[in-house]
Structure 1
Amino acid sequence: MYKKKELYKRSKILLILGFILTILGILLSFSSLFYSSPRYKISGILEIPGQPLRIDFENGVSERIYYLLNSTSNPVNEDIDIKIAFYDKDGSYIGGKYIENLKGIAKGTVVLDGIPKYAVIEPECSHCNTTVFVTIYYSLINWNILAFLSLGGMIFSITGLISLFVGLNLFLVLKKEKERKPETKS
């Protein structure tokens, strides 16, 4: 059986190890949040009247897209409707957004049914004369890296919490035992 001094040392090691693993797990979890956040953007200018604006994406774009439309030089009496449509690599429609009565700034989120390859932004006003600045925010995700970060964060957090629990229990049991039996000096 272990000596009490050695058990105290083991309990402290478990506490320190548990604390480090828990912090590491939390950091990995926050890293996965940052990794999947929309850090990339593409901007374009939609001239009305004119041709629709096409925006092409890289491979690995996530299904959640953020958009920001800023209409300038639009008289108050003109109602501009904008249609944003997203398509996959086969050219199939996978989702979009219809913005009615764009005046000033419109922003929002679109969750798509698949991974987009390109977007087409087109106006629904043939007699309007304005400019719309379009900004699309997205994230590029390698799903293996995201799974590694998420799973690693979970495993390190659970292992760290178990180590903290076992180390704290061992420490408290030894402390309580020491209080029951005070050491006698001879």
Structure 2
Amino acid sequence: MAVTGPTAMNVIEAQKEIARLDGFLYGTAAMVGCIRGYSGSAYLIEARDDAGIEQALKGFYTWNPTLAFDGVERLERGLGSLEFDIRPFIVRQTPRTSDVDLSNLRAYLSFRVMDMVSLILDGRRHFEVFRLHSAPRPAASECVFFCIKADAAWVVLQFNDDIPYLEGLARET
């Protein structure tokens, strides 16, 4: 699957940039020491003309037939909104960091994410961007998805709060 169009990069380059972004998101989530509590990832999903992002995500997560969302929110400023809206998910908490330092760190890391996203999108700028929240379920991870429609693909940034899931596992044992 590739982002298509006259300036689109090939499949291998797109996948390499997605893998780089995926590792970056995982690393930033892990750097605060709660490596199993929070996670971030990036991936591509094929965009079908007749299906929206909810159907695309459900098709991607075939192993999770109960996946449901609280709704779909279109980010009005597109990629500009994305850079601001991902900040609280990139770094959720840091020990011994002032609010100002945390805000600066989030701003810098979201800027770096957007650099990587622009490489995946091959420098084009006008996209539809959506935000979805997984519907709350007891003892389940809370997931937020940011999805960018790029021709034949959805670029997905997923941020998970796995603490409710881990607490549910602990209660079962």
TM class, shorter-length = under 0.3
| TM-score normalized by the length of structure 2 | 0.26
| TM-score normalized by the length of structure 1 | 0.25
Higher strand share: 1
Task: Point out which structure has higher relative CO (alpha carbons under 8 A, 6+ apart).
Answer: 1
